Structure formats: structure tokens, C-alpha cells
Copies of this chain bind each other. A is one copy, B any other.
Amino acid sequence: MCGVLPLWAASGGDGVSEKPRFEGWACPLPLRNYPTVVLGHGSGGQMMADLIRHLFVPELGNELLGQMADSTVIDLEGARLAFTTDSYVVSPLFFPGGDIGELAVNGTVNDLAMSGATPLFLSAAFILEEGLPMETLARVAESARRACEAAGVRVVAGDTKVVNRGHGDGLYLSMAGLGVVPEGIGIGPERARPGDAVLVNGPIGDHGMAILSVREGLEFEAAIESDTAPLNGLVGAMLVASREIHCLRDLTRGGLAAALNELASASKVGVEFEEASVPVRPAVRAACEMLGFDPLYVANEGKLVCFVPEGSAEAVLGAMRAHALGAEARRIGTVVAGHPGQVVARTGIGGSRLVDLPAGELLPRIC
């Protein structure tokens, strides 16, 4: 990895005195020394991690925010709650396989499910652009309702703001979610252990390539649709099979590569996986090859990775395959004690390569 560089130089932060460190891996990336926000700061990669580490954590950090999980688990009045938030700024608002309303509900539900929580309540804060057709807003609200019904959650708090024409891209939707973590569940990004099996619930890259295809007007031989789906039902079935699950992560911005890196880093373990065992649909693989994308880094909205002790791996994999959203689940690799914080792919020809956290921008405005 590149040395962690100060996020910005001119603003008087204590990062100013920090010298760039160039030891370690060769670094083909430009220095991450930005005086202004760029699209890459929202991409789920190293630049966003730097922004969080150097700007948000020093100001707003605390041990709960520091969980760095998809949702934060809070002990409150004897209950264990999971709490999460995400804004959705996807462009376009409607895309093959979904829209911003469904995406927001599913994404929030999934962040709760990744803590093993039962998602219950959502809040919805709409930022509307003056001139947005009412019919568009109605379609988004209807789609959000259907997604709530499918996931078994309710919107219980809301807000509406309107910004001037020419700002805001039609609509942005910020959601927060609240769920309850059942007793006996101990899932967290820092809980991976060497020997854990690494499972995914199906082929990766669909959402990102669906967005790209509609945004760029590309037509592929087979239509690519977003995989947006609520994963709480699948996670519930997995937890029935085994309460030993150590880690869950949905494969959103930054894709499988980012999720594996974040878990490896939080748990101070290594991850190794067989590149050939990672499921990718032929149409997605073809589109990625044509456009020079690596499917490992492409966003998903209905996929997760699960780290579970070897002894429970078959039971969990069986439960996944018995569920509609895990029919194509596979074991792709193993957690190892070596190279802590790093993710290594075994390639088809017997070699291996480091799969790093993406640096910055792959595809903006994906969710």
C-alpha cells in the first residue's frame, strides 16, 4: 500500500507536518493530497477512507462510530440496537432492475442486516430539486413502499427539503435505519479469525454495470440488471444455520475488493481467495473486459460476503443456497494469519496478486 499521506496540505490540520512515506509497495497512484473534494472521496475506496480517517474521525469520532461497521450496534435501555445511515445520489434515478427508492430501502435494510439485526424502522429525508415532476416523486415513493413491504420495514420519520432548479439532480434520498440485534449474535468487522471460510451469495458486478450501461447508453448482448435486493431474509436464514458467523459485509461501493480489505484490516488478518471461484455473470464479465473494469471492484446492491468458522461453513452455505437470494452462493476463499490487512487472489495460472482497496474513482454516483 502507498504510505498514508496527509489529506490536504493547506488547511492547517496536524497532517501538515506528516511526511509522505514511500516504503512498501510500489505506488502508481497520484498523491492523495487534495485541497478540495473530488468524486473519488465518495467512491468507497482509499480516498474515502482517508477522508474519514483524517477529517471526520478527528472531529466526530468515538468508540461507537469507530466500529466502522455497516451499522453501529448500540446498547440502549437493555436493548441491542443497530443504527445506520446512507444518502442515495444515484444517477440516473431509474435504472435497469430498480430505482433510487427501492435502492435506498434495500441499502439501508442491508446495512442493518450486516450486523445481524432485524431491520424495523427507517427514516426518509428527501432533497428535491425545484422542477422535479411530481410523477417522478410519486414513482419513487411507490417503489420505496414496495421495497419496505418486501423487507418488512416501515418508514416512521421523514423530511422534505426543496433546493433551487439546477441543483440536486432531481432528488437525493437520505435514509437512516433502526433494527434490533437478537441475543447471541456477535457479528462485527473485527471478528474474523484465521481459518474462517469466505462465502459470497452470488455473482458480482451486476449493479455497477447496470448503472454504467444506462448512463453511457451502452447495449450489451444480454441485458444487465441491478441486483438490488433486501438481504435481511437471507441473513436470517444463515443465522438459523449457525450463530457462529463472524463477519458480514454487503458489497456496495468498491465491490468485493473493498469489503474484503475492510474486514482484513479491521480484524488484522489476511484473506486469500481463488479468483476463478468468484461468480461473475458472462454478460457482466464481457462488459467489464470491454470497458477495462475489474468485477472485483464493481458495486453490488444485493450481494454480501460472509466469514464463518470452517466447522459451520457447509451449514451456512447450504442455508444460503436454499434461499432465493443465495442460490448461486459459493465459497471463494479462507481467512489466514499471514499478511494481516491484505487480500490476495490466487490466479488461474497458479500465481497470486494483491487485491488492494481501490484508490479513488471507479464509477461515481452508483448509489
A interface with B by C-beta (< 8 Å): 7-8, 10-13, 34-43, 48, 51-52, 55-56, 59-60, 62, 64-65, 71-72, 74, 76-79, 81, 83-89, 120-121, 123-135, 137-138, 141-142, 144-145, 148, 154-164, 166-169, 172, 174, 176, 178, 180, 364-365
Q: Which residue of B lies closest to A126 (CB)?
A: B87
How many copies of the chain does the oligomer comprise? 2
Residues on B with C-beta less than 8 A from A364 are 162, 164
Contact A174 B85 (CB under 8 A): yes
Contact B79 A77 (CB under 8 A): yes
Q: Which residue of B lies closest to A44 (CB)?
A: B160
Contact A128 B174 (CB under 8 A): no
Q: Which residue of B lies closest to A35 (CB)?
A: B134
Taken together as a complex, chains A and B put the C-alpha atoms of A37 and B157 apart, in Å, by 21
Select A141's contact among B40, B59, B129, beta carbons within 8 Å. Answer: B59
Residues on B with C-beta less than 8 A from A132 are 36-37
Contact B72 A142 (CB under 8 A): no
Contact A160 B52 (CB under 8 A): yes
Contact B85 A124 (CB under 8 A): yes
Taken together as a complex, chains A and B put the C-alpha atoms of A298 and B67 apart, in Å, by 41
Contact B87 A161 (CB under 8 A): yes
Taken together as a complex, chains A and B put the C-alpha atoms of A34 and B78 apart, in Å, by 48
Beyond A133-B35, A160-B42, A162-B38, whether A121 also contacts B83 by CB under 8 A is yes
